[in-house]
Amino acid sequence: MMVLAQPSAAEAEIIYPSSDGEPLAETSVHVDAIIHAVVTLRQHLASQRAIVLADQFLYYAQGYPKLRVAPDIMAIWDVPPGPRDNYKIWEEGSVPSVIFEITSEGTQNQDQSHKKTLYEQMEVQEYWLFDPKGEWIAEKLRGYRLRGEQYEPIMDGCSLPLKLRLQVDDTRIGFYREDGEKLLAPDELVEALQTEVKARQDVETQLEQERQRAEKEQQRAEQERQRAEQAEMQVQALMAKLKAMETDIDESMS
């Protein structure tokens, strides 16, 4: 399993950010697909010792905060329920069992190559790609299951960890029990998660604006420093010139 752990005395000083200021998804269609899947799966796993997280940093290398990924959806077992700012594998002790990426043409290469390889190395049992607009996956939904050290295509649409059958439901993923019953996402939970997502996006927007302001302030400070240096150089040059003139006058009078 590719999970690095390097405990050290400096670990307490390392900051693991919970946001990068990026939006939850490219379009409202993708956001809607994420929200409905998360709400449905949280309801399904409510009685189990499991969590479903959306668009949160997954840190897999202790001591290396830049080694991270933010799956659109991840389901994790054998961990206490409750919200997290981010997810550190070495603290929680469990790797996600199922990961979903709500993909698009713009994220195709990342989702199909880098993330797929990373999740294989992390030993994520199932990796699902859902393309709600059908931009590059004709069938919209594609799943992989880990066999040995490599992913193999899931041909029957069934998720073993979730014990559910998955199928395309227009621009959403439909989840069905083994008896054929479809899982439904309660409207009030969807609304609550939408409010949570909106609040998070507002915070991320504010953080990005503050970062831009800080960069501008830094640029202004650098410009002021350069102007001060130039002024100092001009003063030094003028003083040197005056000194040279004084020397010439002294020599001419002697």
For residue 194, pLDDT beyond 80: no
pLDDT for 5: 56
As a CATH number, domain 9-185 is 3.90.1570.20
Residues β-bridged to residue 128:
100, 143
Using alpha carbons, select from 73, 82, 36 the residue that is nearest to residue 53. 73
% of residues, the chain, pLDDT over 70:
89
Chain segment 59-76, per-residue pLDDT in tens: 999 999 999 999 999 999
Domain boundaries, the chain: 9-185
For residues 16 and 59, the answer to whether their CB atoms sit within 8 Å is: yes
pLDDT at residue number 86? 95
pLDDT at 171 over 60: yes
Residue 210's identity, in one-letter code, is E
Of residues 128 and 216, more confidently modeled: 128
* Predicted local confidence at residue 76, as pLDDT: 98
Q: Calculate the CA dihedral of residues 31, 36, 39, 41 and round it to 10 degrees.
A: -110
The pTM of this model reads 0.73
Checking if the pLDDT of 9 tops 60, the result is no
- Lowest-pLDDT choice from 10-14, 38-42, 73-77, 109-113: 10-14
More confident residue, 10 or 113: 113
Question: pLDDT-derived band of residue 6, with 50, 70 and 90 as boundaries?
Answer: low
41 close to 47: Cβ distance less than 8 angstroms: no
Q: How confident is the model at residue 202 (pLDDT cuts 50, 70, 90)?
A: confident
What pLDDT is recorded for position 159? 98
C-alpha 211/C-alpha 113 separation (Å) is: 31
Answer yes or no: is pLDDT of 55 > 80: yes
